[in-house]
Amino acid sequence: MFTRICNVCKEKFTTVHPNYLCCSPKCSKINKVNKRYRRENGDWLIYFKHLLSKKKDTDLTPEKLIRKLKKQKYRCALSGVRMLCVRSRGKINLYNASLDRIKAGGKYTSRNIQLVCRAVNSFRGATPVREYLKWCRRVARNHVK
């Protein structure tokens, strides 16, 4: 028998095999996801594949998105913030790149998307870009007073 500390919950457990890292199937599953995220962090190709896996009827590819990202110099199209591709189980990273439809409600096509940070995409919602920018200026002016 071997005594180990679980990689996930940090509980002490005993095992018959010296290479077991987790105390339960649940912790093993969590550990597997955490390892995959660590491996994928910083890999734009995998990150964009994941984003596009949820989009139907689109002409976008991860390669097209990487070209757009380079064209935008890895910066959010609206805020100028440097974007990331960091995934962490159960956490939302507001600096992560996000697909934003320029014409809200339109299709996800090369001509109708821009890459923005997750925070900006959340704040903007379905508001048209011009209207959103107008509100941003109002907020900034009011904050300066």
The number of residues making up the chain comes to 145
Question: 6 phi and psi, to 5 degrees?
Answer: -60, 135
Query: 41-93 pLDDT, tens per residue?
Result: 999 999 999 999 988 889 999 999 999 999 999 999 999 999 999 988 888 89
Instruction: Specify the residue for token string 């600096």.
Output: 95
CA gap 79, 49 in Å, rounded: 24
Residue range 4-43, pLDDT digits in tens: 999 999 999 999 998 899 999 999 999 999 998 888 899 9
